Amino acid sequence: MSDKEWELFKQKLHTKSGINLNDYKPAQMQRRIGNMMSRHGASGYLDFFSKLEANQKLYKDFIDFLTINVTEFFRTPEKFDELEKKVIPDLLKQSAKLSIWSAGCSIGAEPYSLAIMLNEITPHTRHRILATDLDVEMLAKARLGAYTANELKNIPAARLNKYFKQADGMATINEDIRTRIEFKRHNLLVDKFEVGFDLILCRNVVIYFTEEAKDSLYRRFFASLKPGGVLFVGGTEAILNFRDIGFAHYLPFFYRKPL
């Protein structure tokens, strides 16, 4: 398949979806997309794009595939334990009411996990939790707040019973927690960032981004944090140049903007 065809595919996809594949590592993207093309019998990138245009379910599956919508509540429980016992208490010393951004929130498990945790730490305070994602279908599921047992596997029974209503093999988050989250469509690589956050979580989102795109993203996160604010990244996403950006090391995979 020619470079010209790949370039045309990227242009067409950008126009249709708003996703710019130039911000993703080309070798990894071509390999992942190539595997999906093979499964659907596409002869080339443009043939595959035609299939995406003709089949809405295939297009949805492809966008999910690109944006890596895999998540669960309290993902990596030991890191959420640090968040609960160290990071949030430290942030509450600076501000009684926190402003938090879950960037790339997928189906909402991460922001709802935060809301549950904050309700137990500060039961009489409603903090602001902004949850954003590029995928409108994932956001629709997040707003609904209904989950499978696998997505809830890290939640202890006491929390599950307290915060969810279970029926027909699904568990639905209770209304009080659901209304604490502000869901919004947002493209991390294009759209403007809000400022004044105490905590930003961007975990397992940038795995296929180019180094240039990641560097730009982390610098924009730094600018969006309050002095003393914390950025929490995924377990495979250590920021090697965090000092160049301006961050101070805080805990593994947590980076702090100096006061």
pLDDT (tens digit, 9 = 90+) per residue, 53-89? 999 889 888 877 776 656 789 888 899 999 999 999 9
Confidence of residue 149 (pLDDT cuts 50, 70, 90): confident
pLDDT tens for 213-225 read: 999 999 999 999 9
Rounded to two decimals, what is the model's pTM?
0.80
DSSP 152: G
Residues 189 and 66 sit within 8 Å (Cβ to Cβ): no
Q: Can you tell me the distance from the alpha carbon of 54 to that of 133, in angstroms, rounded to the nearest whole number?
A: 25
Confidence of residue 152 (pLDDT cuts 50, 70, 90): confident
CATH architecture assigned to 77-256: 3-Layer(aba) Sandwich (3.40)
Alpha helices in 183-239 (DSSP H): 211-224
Strands 146-147 and 248-251, bridge-based pairing: unpaired
Confidence of residue 12 (pLDDT cuts 50, 70, 90): very high
Share of the chain above pLDDT 90, in %: 68
* Over residues 110-134, mean pLDDT: 96
Element (H, E) at 168: none
Give the pLDDT of residue 201: 97
Q: Can you tell me the distance from the alpha carbon of 125 to that of 147, in angstroms, rounded to the nearest whole number?
A: 26
Give the pLDDT of residue 203: 92
Q: Can you tell me the distance from the alpha carbon of 46 to that of 55, in angstroms, rounded to the nearest whole number?
A: 14
Give the pLDDT of residue 69: 59
DSSP 209: B
Q: Spell out the CATH class of 3-67.
A: mainly alpha
Give the pLDDT of residue 162: 95
Q: What φ, ψ does residue 98 adopt, rounded to 5°?
A: -95, 150
Q: Which of 20-29, 30-39, 173-182 has the highest mean pLDDT?
A: 173-182
Q: Can you tell me the distance from the alpha carbon of 19 to that of 187, in angstroms, rounded to the nearest whole number?
A: 8
Q: Hey, what are 16's tokens?
A: 């249709």
* Domain limits, the chain: 3-67, 77-256
Q: Hey, what are 8's tokens?
A: 């045309």
